[in-house]
Amino acid sequence: MGVPDESNCFSEGDPCGESILETVAADLASPVYPGGVPYRADLAGWQAKFEAATAEAPIDVVLITDSLWETATSGPSAGQLLHRTLNAAAGVYDADPIGAGTLPLPVHAQGSGPSATSTQGTTSTTATGGQGSTLTDGQVLTHVATATGFVVLYRTEPGWGTLTIRDGAGGTVLGTVSCDAAAKSGNLWTSAALSDASHTLHITSTGTTRVEMVMPTRETHIRVWPCGRSSAVTDDYIDNPSQVLDFIDTLDAAGTLGLVLVATGTNDDGEYATDIPALLAAVAAATTADVALWLPYMNGGLTQPELDTSRATARTAGVPLIDASVVADQIPTIDGAHPTTQGRVVMASHVSAVLSGDPIGAAIRLAGAVAAGRGSTSTQVQEAGLMMGGGDTYMLRTAAARVGFGTGLGLLLGSPDAQIDARYVGLNEASADPSAPAANGAVLYTKDNGAGKTQLCVRFATGAVQVIATQP
């Protein structure tokens, strides 16, 4: 046996070794197999900014989306989880991507998505993300978070008032912000450094003002801004620059924008093919930062034919594509469309695998979450296992020896319409008498007697209703 030629060994600086690394990197970036999950494809600007990001010089990601990334029955939304998963990939300590970590989360000022702790204002759907809070004279908005700083998005309008921002009610004034300027959403106010502790951001309005989003920071390298609301369509963000384009312009001018991720489509009803190119063009006009496109998984609002059309549109749009349909079979939903907590973890982990350059690490973190049983909305659901059904009726193991029936959302929130236990049958009140069954059958149910008392009833095939017992 001859002595190995060390000149042929794989080592740093070896041309052969470098070519191998280049080949591997190319295969990862652009997989040749169907359903492959690329990473950082055509996102050189984002890659450089991601690797350079620090707590002192964070970079921003704007997520343009709808309820798929905004809905959260319990725990963080998918957009908030993306905030954590990207920070975890960037090496931020205790940025648990599953939701148990201490990295604080961005919130809307007011609305159906994750929002500020309290506000006396009214919801504004034209604000950044479509979920702002319009305040009148003397009204207050607060948000509690363990943080070392806060970033506040606000709107300006000629003749509007001021925001007085304190560390707690009656506490130290952190800043006074004039909102009397040319009309524009997505303006940024950033606090000075605060002690690493729980703080109550206390914002008082003088005159009319609007707070749009709040970003608590704590060793935050990547600031993910989930700009979206329930039922939003792609065209909304084109027709209403205040919902996202103004903010992109602000971040671009500040030089902190790393990526714009467009993640709409579920609500577009066949208009995706025309609206997506228009939105991408509008975003490109507002920034020189990298832009990527997230294609939704197939769901109750996005059928297979629509998905096929959307994919064709996405692949010809001229931007990198993150195709959620390649992991569609791993996205459980609460209602056929909106992801469960586990589904939200999958969504965020998939996008982080693509963007972070750490697909193996993202996969390991996801596997760890599954193994740990994290991501459930309740203890009952955590031990539940498989949800079966479709439409508006599902069946789920809700506890030991117990099966619940109801809507997907109701089951996940621990409010089944009915339960069958090894020891008893539980029935929630029906809003009306059920239809009569077929011949030779009967229906057992409960209802309100009109005076706040529950009645146990049976309805026969003839339509006759017999009250068996009334609540004492």
DSSP string, 9-22: S--TT-HHHHHHHH
pTM over 0.85: no
pLDDT at 384 (0 to 100): 35
Q: Which of 257, 221, 223 is nearest to 52 (CA)?
A: 221
Q: Tell me yes or no: is domain 50-103+219-375 CATH 3.40.50.1110.
A: yes
pLDDT at 465 (0 to 100): 95
**Which residue in this structure is represented by tokens 């057992």?**
444
- The more confident residue out of 425 and 189 is 189
Tokens of 248: 């992109």
Q: Which fold has domain 112-218?
A: Jelly Rolls (2.60.120)
**Mean pLDDT value of segment 267-288:** 91
Q: What pLDDT, in 10s, does the model give residues 210-264? A: 999 999 999 999 999 999 998 899 999 999 999 999 999 999 999 999 999 999 9
Distance CA 322, CA 356 (A): 13
Distance CA 423, CA 410 (A): 22
| Residue 176's pLDDT band (cuts 50, 70, 90) | very high
Task: Identify the DSSP state of 117.
Answer: S
Range(s) for CATH 2.60.120.260 in the chain? 112-218
User: Amino acid identity, residue 345?
Assistant: V
Distance CA 14, CA 128 (A): 51
Range(s) for CATH 3.40.50.1110 in the chain? 50-103+219-375
Q: What pLDDT, in 10s, does the model give residues 316-333? A: 888 888 888 877 655 778
Task: Identify the DSSP state of 66.
Answer: -
**Mean pLDDT value of segment 20-40:** 55
Q: Does 376 score more than 90 pLDDT?
A: no
Tokens of 276: 């997506």
